[in-house]
Structure 1
């Protein structure tokens, strides 16, 4: 009879992982808690904690009146929607080609796609600005999103997912008379739904929070997104009012936090399924 003994090293590792997760979670949560506290209390309580501090929504009202938030929200929504639609379309077609079609130079082309992941977007700011200027698109929402229409990360993520789909499904759909595009839309895309959700969250979060490129390529309220609009609160003659700044920041980040809370399970599971195979 073989006796089973517990592994103390495994239990010790799990304890360390749990403690590390709690520490990292608290480090992430503390700034958010401070922002919430400051936004819902008068300015004099921004730097000191008191249980008797009165709650107020005045900071949100002042922030909303200090900047054209409806326009900024509309610009940001149009921007992230436009970029996501373009990335989804181009990444899906490219990933399907890399995953299922054999053609000369496919491996070299895919390596070039992976190399793009190593290039920081900020390096291309000057060339992108000159290109937008030559096209006459400067100071438009399209000029902010156009350099990001193709996503190497999206191509890589979807290619890894498409390669796990059994080829028998392709053959069955082809026998039924489906074209290559129909096979893609009716077989591959539905099976990759969690991956699309995760990539969508990453894309929206990235371009919702993008600041430097929109700041450089735009100069009017009609085309500037939320992140650039927030700078109005740090350039006042009266100094920095942290209560109003945190209120404006919470209004800006609330849609992203809500989206992540709603789709966090799909977000985590999709990356677990997208390992290199």
Structure 2
């Protein structure tokens, strides 16, 4: 007996949705556990009995036990400065690769594409040596300097610029518009979804960046949240303070998590328009 094609598609679609919900649940379990433990008293969180006790003492202890306010300020400065410089540099580079003809353009662009395949961790030693020679260790500039250019962002924005009709640029040139004017009045406004997509990727990456800031920073004045969280967890590990560690973890991930909940439609729309697929 053969089932109608509509029923087969319905069954396949239901199975697919079930698999997606299952994967989403598996991703959600650790986050739920962190939130649950962060708001529970220590005795209730580490015990095996269920109670409805809730407390904010864990967050108070964490905030007073480590300079998380300073860590927040450092992280905002680092991620914001990297994003601003990246948007400026990749805009100029993407326009040059998309519209400006110069000798060796394709070769240079291929070199940029090769950088995408190189893991950032491979360059840690060489970048550290350069910062040491420049005297930029344990400085905010030393943390952000290796990320001022993004080969991925240049590739993404170059493809967006190449898709725009060249007739728009010709019409603007007839009106006497300069190259910078073209970028500001035509290319940047028409590529806003791509900029938003890259901003989401860049901001989340540098907000969660851990290894490079851990290596180049030694003081509270320059450490971001991720390094501060690791040091706090290490200092409380011997006492098994899981409630405080979960509260500190929630403090670190809460801004990105809340931002995604409020702007998820804009994020998904920007990814769809820019051609990024998860």
Aligned to 2:263: 263
> Could you tell me which residue of structure 1 aligns to residue 248 of structure 2?
248
Contact 2:78-2:140 at 8 Å conserved across structures: yes
Equivalent positions of 1:86-165 (< 5 A) are 86-165=85-164
Verify the 8 A CA contact 2:193 2:273 in the aligned structure 1.
no
Greater displacement, 53-62 / 20-29: 20-29
TM-score by length of 1: 0.92
Equivalent position of 2:193 in the other structure: 194
How much is the aligned-residue C-alpha RMSD, in angstroms?
1.9
1:225-244, aligned counterparts within 5 Å? 225-236=224-235, 238-244=238-244
Distance 1:243 1:185, change over 3 A: same
Match of 1:69 in 2: 68
Question: 1 CA distance for matches of 2:49 and 2:159?
Answer: 52
Distance apart, 1:81 and its partner CA: 0.8
Question: What is the TM-score when the length of structure 2 is the normalising length?
Answer: 0.91
Give 1:46's aligned residue.
45
Task: Please report how far the alpha carbon of residue 157 of structure 1 lies from its aligned counterpart in structure 2 after TM superposition.
Answer: 1.2
Structure 1: how far apart are the matches of 2:13 and 2:100? 43
Name the stretch that deviates more: 97-106 or 116-125: 97-106
Conserved 8 A contact 1:35-1:250: yes
Residue 152 of structure 2: SS of its match in structure 1? helix
**Contact 1:63–1:247 (8 Å) recurs in 2:** yes
The structural deviation recorded for 1:192 is 1.3
Secondary structure at the aligned position of 1:163 is classed as helix
Give the Å deviation of 1:120. Answer: 0.7
- Alignment-derived partner of residue 18 in structure 1: 17
Structure 2: state its 5+ residue gaps: none
Structure 1 unpaired stretches of 5+:
none
**Structure 1 contact 160–275 (Cα < 8 Å) conserved:** no
CA drift of 1:53 comes to 2.9
What displacement does 1:60 show? 0.4
> Residues of 2 paired with 1:107 and 1:66: CA distance?
53
Equivalent pair of 1:234/1:240 in contact (CA under 8 Å): no
* Aligned length, in residue pairs: 272
CA-to-aligned-CA distance 1:126-168 (integer Å, 9 cap, x gap)? 1111110100100001111100111011111111211221112
